[in-house]
Amino acid sequence: MSTQSAFAAALLNPDQPCPGGLTSWNGSDPELRFAVYRNNVTVSLIDALADTFPVVQALVGEAFFRAMARVFVQANPPHSRLMAYYGNGFANFVASFPPAAPVPYLADVARLEMARVLAYHAADVAPIQTEALQAALADPEQLLSLRLLVHPSVQVIDSPFAVVSVWAAHQGALCMTSVDPDLAQVALVFRHQLDVETHELSAGDAQFIRALQTGQSLLDAAGAAGSSDPEFDLSQALALLLRWQLITHIITGESHHEHTH
């Protein structure tokens, strides 16, 4: 292991000894200075997680959250200088963290909160105009191969728990006592202009959007959605995407039509 790797490994793991060869400019104890630096780095990363996962912290309390976050930090050094993305693996960690088991929906709430951060930082792509989609839908030849691209901020999160309602309750939109956490919900997360939105999706709409994201044609995506949800309504699903300005490109055959101003 290189000196740099040893330094990085010791930085987040208090069980690792202070790396050898360290000196201080004023003759102070390098081990003591390293311990202080290590603690400051760890606290900064825990603070970053607290900023990303405020509802997770509210659900378990600050003391529990920071203790759990410390375990995560020690095993997961940041891989980017962009601290907004730190915590991408936190939800999976929470799901496998035994002390968090009494709150079974905690990991999915973490996934929702991380999705909101990713949506905020996603690329900015202009939407198509409604008239452009109406024209494509009205052409039978185009309709057969029509594909739609959705905004890069869009994320669909399935959960066996009421993650949208739990999240909304901690924004003051619902009373937590009225929420049944054991009701399955699908969350739609996206950025609309400068605001990140979080809404509940029906099973059919969720399947439809996921199919579009994987490159399926409009008709194939609608068929998959209808198979998973008999109540799926294509016109309503398209109206939802248009209302939130989430369709960014129309692709017909080999052509790739940019949005129409």
DSSP 97: -
pLDDT for 83 equals 76
- Read off the pLDDT band of 5 (50, 70, 90): low
The H or E element containing residue 201 is strand 195-201
**Bridge partners (DSSP) listed for residue 176:** none
Strands 247-252, 255-257: pairing kind? antiparallel
Q: pLDDT > 90: what percent of the chain?
A: 65
Interval 196-206 mean pLDDT: 97
Is the model's pLDDT at 239 over the cut of 90?
Answer: yes
Give 85-130 pLDDT, tens digit per residue.
899 999 999 999 999 999 999 999 999 999 999 999 999 999 999 9
Amino acid (one-letter) located at 52: T
Give dist(CA 167, CA 60) in Å, integer.
14
Is the model's pLDDT at 56 over the cut of 70?
Answer: yes
Q: Record the pTM.
A: 0.82
Give 159-174 pLDDT, tens digit per residue.
999 999 999 999 987 7
139/258: higher pLDDT: 139
**Bridge partners (DSSP) listed for residue 157:** 187
- From 199, 187, 209, 197, select the one nearest 109 (Cα to Cα): 187
Is the model's pLDDT at 20 over the cut of 60?
Answer: no
pLDDT for 175 equals 80
- Read off the pLDDT band of 156 (50, 70, 90): very high
Give dist(CA 221, CA 105) in Å, integer.
29
The H or E element containing residue 47 is helix 30-52
Give 140-150 pLDDT, tens digit per residue.
888 889 999 99
Rounded to the nearest angstrom, the gap between the alpha carbon of residue 199 and the centroid of all alpha carbons in its chain is: 14
pLDDT for 35 equals 52
Q: pLDDT > 70: what percent of the chain?
A: 81
**Bridge partners (DSSP) listed for residue 250:** 148, 257
What would the two tokens of residue 159 be?
Answer: 């959960």
Tallying the residues shown for the chain, one arrives at 261
**Three-state secondary-structure class, residue 140:** helix
Interval 221-246 mean pLDDT: 96
Give dist(CA 257, CA 131) in Å, integer.
13
